[in-house]
A and B are shown apart, each in its own frame.
Chain A
Amino acid sequence: AQTVTQSQPEMSVQEAETVTLSCTYDTSESDYYLFWYKQPPSRQMILVIRQEAYKQQNATENRFSVNFQKAAKSFSLKISDSQLGDAAMYFCAYAGTETSGSRLTFGEGTQLTVNP
């Protein structure tokens, strides 16, 4: 079974600074997808960034980028120039190929606080 681990229950960052959220996963599949989702108090999960495992290049979306280390099964999220609106719960998630179903497997989450 696939597992996703986020070892940082809480993180804080000063506005305009950079913060990195950690995520490790375990899988026996060779083809899969990794995601970072943001969940504000409204509870709606919002996709921040995704990475296809077969792509060697790290994904980037504006101020958000990932460091994908396939051999180490590590998938960290870097938020640059942090803004007050970035404060939320962040979840790392894994989705495998059809052989493992279409479900997303989520980590436990990291609560990010942005200090003004």
Chain B
Amino acid sequence: GAGVSQSPRYKVAKRGQDVALRCDPISGHVSLFWYQQALGQGPEFLTYFQNEAQLDKSGLPSDRFFAERPEGSVSTLKIQRTQQEDSAVYLCASSLVTGWLNTEAFFGQGTRLTVV
């Protein structure tokens, strides 16, 4: 596709439910990032992939959060046993190469997760 695609755009989950958020990066992009953006705040880093390898998951807030990118393209962020504090917009971004010298990160429109 022409840009980074995320689905669903909106998700309402009951507390304790498991959710899966999908990110389709721009074709050929090596790097993929997940960010969490609470209401009225700036995005915060969750995890980073270089192709299929998850090189940094230091931002994942708990072991209920899990991300994968098995074939180096589509990525899924899974949240188990959702809690109210998980309510946020989850942004995905991809970039062509690693590092920042000759590339930029392209963002999707995010998934707004509301836990009730």
Contact = CB atoms under 8 A, between A and B. Distances in A.
Interface of A: 4, 33, 42-47, 50, 52, 91, 93, 95, 98, 101-109
A102 B107 contact: no
A111 B44 CA distance: 18
Contacts of B91: 43, 45
Given A44-B108, A47-B104, 19 more contacts: A33-B100, A43-B109, A43-B112, A44-B110, A45-B91, A45-B93, A46-B107, A47-B105, A101-B56, A102-B33, A102-B48, A102-B100, A103-B48, A104-B105, A106-B43, A107-B42, A108-B42, A109-B40, A109-B42
A84 B59 CA distance: 36
Query: Chain B: interface residue count, which band?
Result: 20 to 34
Q: Which 10 A-B pairs have the closest CB atoms?
A: A106-B42, A45-B107, A103-B45, A43-B110, A33-B100, A44-B109, A95-B100, A106-B43, A43-B109, A101-B56
A97 to B, nearest CB: 8
Interface string B45-81: 1001000000110110000000000000000000000
B109 A42 contact: yes
A40 B35 CA distance: 17
Given A44-B107, A47-B104, A106 B44 contact: yes
Interface of B: 31, 33, 35, 40-45, 48, 55-56, 58-59, 89, 91, 93, 98-101, 104-105, 107-110, 112
Contacts of B112: 43
A66 B55 CA distance: 32
Contacts of A44: 107-110
B8 to A, nearest CB: 13
Contacts of B107: 44-46
Nearest to B41: A108
A102 B99 contact: yes
Contacts of B101: 52
